[in-house]
């Protein structure tokens, strides 16, 4: 992990944020994508993801200018301003709510072009492909997350230990689903990074978690007999990303830093996934809408032949 300075700014634009040069049409050139993870590094990254259920990418992959625009887009959404005229999906947090609570807004890419550009960034697709060897990677849901610094003498927002799969019953058993968690701000240890329990994706669906629990220290999930509870902190620079498996136990404690922790949780699927009864309902309702659920690697031709859309 690159050792990086901590600043008060939302995003750092210094030389440690290596911008990816875009073609005039905004496309990331193929050669640059190859640099996101060199062919030599791919097998080790994939082995790490498969063994741990989490993979932290050490370098920023989202260009600094896009982070700045997406961050402004996040602020607009918290004010209820929707550049596209489209509001988010019904959300836990709404404009006017307490900004010290976890700000969690669903499908923010529908409301802001910069956020759509960030969640569709081909470097994410390229990395997701490298980790899974999938022919197709599609965004199927996104959450905007802002965790304000905890105020003195007050406990700040936390995310309880959970497995994503417990909330994803809309998808058939065995579906290949995972998450790219993109840091928009710097996420040092004191900002309350996501903490992943190494190897817990092999523990099966535990049925014990609660995303909304607010006492991470005491809300322990029991590790199965013989298994070790070992946490990996998702400390990331702005534009950095971690990938986690749908069964990996994770949560995050309060932000004890001085600036908001900003991120997107981008939920991804591959062609090895299918909604239950192939129904477009609940969290699987939007997958045929390329504006909200862009394909970020490959294309949907084989997937369409299998599940329609
Ligand atoms: O942002 C956090 O602290 C938790 C996010 C999360 O649960 C997820 O990305 O699946």
Distance 162 CA to ligand 1 centre (A): 9
How many folded domains does the chain comprise? Answer: 1
198 within domain boundaries: yes
Ligand 1 atom nearest the C-alpha of 265 is 9
Predicted local distance difference test score (pLDDT) of residue 152 = 80
Distance 24 CA to ligand 1 centre (A): 34
38 within domain boundaries: no
33 within domain boundaries: no
177 Cβ inside 6 Å of ligand 1: no
CA neighbor of 124 nearest in space, from 237, 243, 11: 243
220 within domain boundaries: yes
Q: Give the range of the structural domain holding residue 297, as residue numbers without chain letter.
A: 53-304
Supply the pTM of this predicted model: 0.90
Ligand 1 atom nearest the C-alpha of 164 is 10
251 within domain boundaries: yes
135 within domain boundaries: yes
The answer to whether 243 and 45 are in contact (CB under 8 A) is no
Q: CA-based angle 221:223:225, to the nearest 5?
A: 145
161 within domain boundaries: yes
Indicate which CATH number applies to the domain containing 110: 2.60.120.620
164 Cβ inside 6 Å of ligand 1: yes
Q: What is the pLDDT along the chain (309 residues), one digit of tens a residue?
A: 333 333 333 443 333 334 445 555 545 555 555 568 888 899 999 999 999 999 999 789 999 999 999 999 999 999 999 999 999 999 999 999 999 999 999 999 999 999 999 999 999 999 999 999 999 999 999 999 999 999 887 888 999 999 999 999 999 999 999 999 999 999 999 999 999 999 999 999 999 999 999 988 888 888 999 999 999 999 999 999 999 999 999 999 999 999 999 999 999 999 999 999 999 999 999 999 999 999 999 999 999 999 999
232 within domain boundaries: yes
List Cβ neighbours of 152 (8 Å cut-off, separation of 6 or more): none
């Amino acid at each position: 992990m690159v050792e990086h300075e901590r600043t008060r700014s939302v995003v750092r634009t210094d030389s440690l944020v290596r911008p990816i040069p875009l073609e005039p049409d905004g496309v990331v050139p193929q050669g640059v994508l190859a640099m996101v993870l060199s062919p030599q590094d791919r097998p080790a990254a994939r082995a790490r993801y498969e063994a741990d259920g989490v993979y932290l990418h050490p370098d920023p992959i989202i260009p600094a200018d896009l982070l700045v625009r997406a961050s402004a887009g996040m602020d607009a959404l918290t004010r209820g301003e929707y550049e596209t005229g489209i509001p988010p999906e019904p959300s836990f947090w709404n404009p006017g709510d307490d900004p010290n609570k976890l700000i969690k807004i669903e499908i923010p890419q529908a409301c802001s072009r910069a956020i759509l550009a960030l969640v569709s960034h081909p470097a994410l697709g390229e990395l997701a492909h490298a980790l899974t060897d999938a022919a197709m990677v599609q965004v199927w849901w996104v959450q905007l997350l802002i965790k304000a610094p905890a105020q003195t003498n007050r406990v700040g927002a936390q995310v309880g230990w959970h497995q994503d799969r417990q909330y994803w019953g809309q998808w058939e058993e065995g579906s290949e689903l995972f998450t790219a968690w993109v840091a928009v701000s710097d996420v040092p240890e004191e900002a309350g990074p996501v903490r992943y329990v190494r190897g817990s994706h092999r523990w099966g669906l535990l049925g014990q978690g609660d995303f909304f629990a607010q006492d991470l220290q005491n809300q322990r999930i029991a590790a199965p007999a013989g298994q070790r509870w070992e946490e990996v902190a998702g400390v990331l620079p702005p534009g950095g990303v971690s990938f986690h498996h749908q069964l990996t136990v994770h949560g995050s404690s309060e932000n004890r830093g001085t600036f908001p922790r900003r991120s997107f949780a981008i939920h991804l699927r591959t062609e090895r996934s299918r909604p239950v009864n192939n129904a477009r309902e609940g969290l699987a309702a939007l997958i045929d809408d390329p504006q909200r659920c862009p394909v970020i690697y490959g294309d949907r031709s084989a997937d369409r032949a299998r599940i329609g859309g």
